[in-house]
Amino acid sequence: MIGYPDQPQKRQFFGDFPAYYHNLAAGLSFADGHWEIKRWQDLRTCPPIQRNRFPGHDRRVPSPGNPDLFWLQDRATRREG
């Protein structure tokens, strides 16, 4: 993912945002079978829902310094090499 791990100024969402329907939180499950409930800390992770429009769909949304995006990247990305 762009900006991971050491270029936080380049971090961005691309296409989709994580769910936040439950008090700005979501449950995530992982390939190894474990799960975590994550409450999002940065409001940029939770843009307002617009009728007939998916926030971020078909576009890149910069989110530099967003701790939620780093949290997602840290669990869903591996370093090259």
The 10s digit of each residue's pLDDT in 14-72 is 667 777 878 899 998 888 899 999 999 999 888 877 766 655 455 677 888 889 988 98
**Claim: this prediction has a pTM higher than 0.85:** no
pLDDT of residue 62: 82
- Domain coordinates in residue numbering, the chain: 1-45+60-81
Residue with tokens 């007939």: 52
Residue with tokens 């078909």: 58
Kindly tell me if the per-residue pLDDT of 5 is higher than 70. yes
pLDDT of residue 37: 93
**What is the rounded distance in angstroms from the CA atom of residue 7 to the CA atom of residue 35?**
27
pLDDT of residue 81: 47
**What is the rounded distance in angstroms from the CA atom of residue 63 to the CA atom of residue 13?**
7
